[in-house]
Amino acid sequence: MKNTFVHPLISVLKRSIDLIGASLGLLLTLLLLPFIALAIKLESPGPVLFKQLRIGRSWPDRVELFGMLKFRSMRTDAEQQGPGWTTPGDPRRTRMGALLRRLSIDELPQFINVLLGDMSLVGPRPERPVYVEQFRQSIPRYMDRHREKAGITGWAQVNGLRGDTSIAERTKYDLWYIENWSISLDFRIMARTVLRMFSDRQAY
């Protein structure tokens, strides 16, 4: 598989864009945080932020795990019965959480993950270990998407593949992104992400 990011200068350039973009995004998050935190707390007791274990990059002999941050959009007992996909009308969601998800505002704390080096602004979306284990056994080349750093947004997501959509199709788009990466493609994805925030109805 062609590895677009192997050149050290390209890696430095992409990381520099991540740091600048995440710093600006985090500034926006900090401005919104008091209002979001108050709304979350008034509706549902519990922490404002939610951390969930995800797989970043993966090699045959090593797997990178990190705690992906989100604004909490569900009740604190949402996963007592084990992990499960979020579905339309999911009773585990709070009303504020439904709004945060619809506008993708729940993802804003991931700018912290980008600054920490866990994620990139653009890349394949990270999945939970339990789902990665399932998908790697049924979807060809699924693990190849883990050769690069996970992203807040990605080529699959701006092409409508989020929420309850085909994992196999998402994988194809993720692999295409990795094999055809360019700076202009990253900026194109980021611009389309902002536009889709106010029109996307696939996030539950």
Residue range 178-197, pLDDT digits in tens: 999 989 999 999 999 988 87
More reliable by pLDDT, 43 or 91:
43
Q: Domains in the chain: how many in total?
A: 1
More reliable by pLDDT, 104 or 174:
174
Residue 204 lies in a domain: no
Residue 35 lies in a domain: yes
Residue 147 lies in a domain: yes
Q: Binning pLDDT at 50, 70 and 90, where does residue 87 land?
A: low
Residue 3 lies in a domain: no
Residue 202 lies in a domain: no
Angle, in degrees to the nearest 10, between helices 183-196 and 8-43: 10
- Tokens 């993720």 sit on residue: 174
Residue 49 lies in a domain: yes
Residue 62 lies in a domain: yes
Q: Are 203 and 162 in contact (CB under 8 A)?
A: yes
Residue 121 lies in a domain: yes
Q: What is the mean pLDDT of the chain?
A: 85
Integer Cα distance of 101 and 95 in angstroms: 10
For the entire predicted model, the pTM comes to: 0.86
Half-sphere exposure (Cβ direction) of 72: Cα atoms closer than 13 Å: 23
More reliable by pLDDT, 89 or 137:
137
Structural domain including 54 reads: 8-196
